[in-house]
């Protein structure tokens, strides 16, 4: 069984033909909608918006492993372990918070 512990192993997996194929199947199955938002009664879809700074389409939807790839490599391509989520929901799921940071300085301002 393959392992996906290092960044290089994960990068190789996420650029593989098998991943790209199953990813597209999941997006189609989920109607290109965030399933987490859908559970909350919201609708989040891919708008195909272009990012000038990145020179590519903005990533708004990702295919998420319900059981993490690193801990469950046997489920890497199991369609029942995958769902479409928006970037915001995906970041929340993984505890990534990109909120506004508080000012570290508490000096009086003039």
- The reported pLDDT for the residue numbered 22 is 98
Find out whether 51 and 58 touch, Cβ atoms under 8 Å: yes
The mean of the pLDDT values for the chain is 87
- Residue 101, pLDDT above cutoff 60: no
Q: What is the pLDDT of residues 18-69, one digit of tens each?
A: 999 999 999 999 999 999 999 999 998 887 788 788 777 777 899 999 999 9
- The reported pLDDT for the residue numbered 103 is 56
Other beta carbons within 10 angstroms of residue 86's beta carbon come to: 22
| C-alpha span between 67 and 62 (Å, rounded) | 15
Over residues 69-96, the mean pLDDT reads 93
- The reported pLDDT for the residue numbered 51 is 79
């Amino acid at each position: 069984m393959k392992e996906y512990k290092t960044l290089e192993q994960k990068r190789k997996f996420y650029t593989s033909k098998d991943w790209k194929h199953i990813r597209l199947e999941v997006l189609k199955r989920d109607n290109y909608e965030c399933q987490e938002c859908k559970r909350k009664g919201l609708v989040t879809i891919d708008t195909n918006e272009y990012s000038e700074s990145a020179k590519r389409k903005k990533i708004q939807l990702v295919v998420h492993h319900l059981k993490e790839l690193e801990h469950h490599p046997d489920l890497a391509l199991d369609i029942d372990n995958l769902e479409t989520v928006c970037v915001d929901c995906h970041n929340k799921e993984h505890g990534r918070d990109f909120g506004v940071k508080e000012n570290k300085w508490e000096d009086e301002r003039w």
